[in-house]
Amino acid sequence: MGMKMRDLGKRGSAKWRLEELIAFECALAKDEGQDWKSLKEQDAKTALEASVLESGNRRAIAKAWLKARLAAAPEVRLAADSVSQSLKAAGQLLGAGGLLLGLGAATGALAYTGEAPINVSAFFSLFVLLQAALALALALVFFLPRAWRERLAFGPLYRATRWVLEAIFSKLQTVSARFLSGQQRQDAAEWAGAARRALALHGSVAKWLAFAKIQAASLCFNFGVLLALLVSVVFSDRAFGWQTTLDTDAQAVSRWVELVATPWAALYGEGEGYPSLQQVEGSRIVLKEGIRELESRDLAAWWRFLAFGVLVYGALPRLLFYCLGKWQVASALARYDFRNAAAERLMQRLRPEAPRFDAERVEQGADRGALQSADANGREGLERGICCLCSSELGESFDLAALRRGLAERWKLSEERVEVRTYEDGRIAEAASDLEEGTQLALVFESWMPPIREVERQVKGLRARVDERSLLKVVLLGIPASSDQAISLRPEKQYAEAWHSFVQRMGDPYLILDNPAV
């Protein structure tokens, strides 16, 4: 997989391809299990261009980091290539399946014994009219607003898939509880959270990628139909005729056929691209009369009309929808948000002036290095202020003024921009209900108190109240090392590991543990 880096220092020029996003996720997944100090040392060896770092463009910074990461870690490239090749293989299997299905279905519809001609009405209805109706319905959906469009195009399938996956996960968790150890159950819950997180982050890309592959399979289906039709006509003698019980004359059918053939009538006119009135009259089948009196020329006049119909109303719309799907995939990649928790943690790693994971206190006024402007976008929410929510019990036990000062130092903000609020009886969402739009939120917990179901309920309730793409920080309080220390923001490793696992199990891509990475 070749990574082509073009003008990474220019804002908006760092376009991402699907293969690159897959490699980016693989690289982040590989780094997930490493401790923060090792990651900082690893990234310190990454030589990124100063122009990229100074651009303030997270997309460009992440892409430059990915290029260097792939060069330094071939195993990441190998994993990404495996995923990309698997997706391509899935598309190829779908295409082969569509081709074989179209070939088989059309071969069955074109079966001819010499006693009765092939029913043009049935073939046209199944392989042309039905596909044209589906294409028209799908085209109308794309004129709706994007939210409605995705809800109608993918809503039922997406909800059904999500319901099935949730049922499977729930059943697996119930079954696994009987024979898995506690650590194994925790690992399984983290895997489930990772799947939910990936679906939330990449759901749009996945849906449009599936859409494009389905359209490609449908295109192959039409090619199979065309192949069966052409082979049957070239290598055997086929007779085509139309019949109906209704009181319909040949003139009405001829007008309808001429209307359907409009797209190609200029190139292949009457008698070539579609049957003439005389040929329509001469190919009508009346069962009691048989076909012996009908002219072979009239019975063979329909195959070009059917072939053009499949090509124009079946294959061509699928080709257009396939191109539309590919364009939507590129659009979804362009909309990918590099402010999620994983990307935010990467930006923190690349920020030279961020020692807060290595030391208890952060010196104000430290040299911020080349990433100061690069971090500007990520700090927009901080510049508007950040509100820290903690329980009233915690507020009674700790000095909230000292907490405010410590967090202001950690985030390099003035104390006026850091607000600390308390809530009672777990009503965390109500405490944040009157905040100004754009204010970032941090949840403060005692690290030694395990994250129980009630904490999970509180976090989910708060997420339901705020924007789904709003970053939620989880700040852990450590045990003060001495009586002189009012507050500690460094939890012990065993407690940090438990909360790290909790964040992973939540499956929220915008929930980040602000304390040292495990």
Domains of the chain: 114-334 (no CATH), 379-513 (3.40.50)
Q: Is the pLDDT of residue 124 over 70?
A: yes
pLDDT digits (tens, 9 = 90+) for 309-351: 999 999 999 999 999 999 999 999 999 989 899 898 888 888 7
Q: What sign results for the dihedral spanned by CA atoms 48, 51, 57, 63?
A: negative
Nearest to 199 by CA among 340, 77, 65: 340
Helices (H), 295-451: 296-299, 303-310, 316-334, 341-350, 380-383, 392-397, 400-411, 428-431
Rounded to the nearest integer, the mean pLDDT of the chain is 81
- Report CA-CA distances (Å) from 486 to 358, 448, 501: 20, 17, 27
pLDDT digits (tens, 9 = 90+) for 442-496: 999 999 988 888 888 889 888 888 888 888 999 999 888 776 677 888 888 888 8
pTM of the predicted structure, to 2 decimals: 0.79
Enter the tokens of residue 129.
């009219």
445 close to 484: Cβ distance less than 8 angstroms: no
Confidence of residue 362 (pLDDT cuts 50, 70, 90): very low
pLDDT digits (tens, 9 = 90+) for 208-236: 999 999 999 999 999 999 999 999 999 98
Distance CA 79, CA 22 (A): 9
H or E element, residue 240: strand 240-241
- Report CA-CA distances (Å) from 188 to 136, 175, 191, 266, 320: 44, 12, 5, 63, 42
pLDDT digits (tens, 9 = 90+) for 259-316: 999 999 999 988 889 999 988 888 787 765 656 666 778 788 889 999 999 999 999 9
pLDDT digits (tens, 9 = 90+) for 408-441: 888 888 888 899 999 888 888 888 888 777 788 9
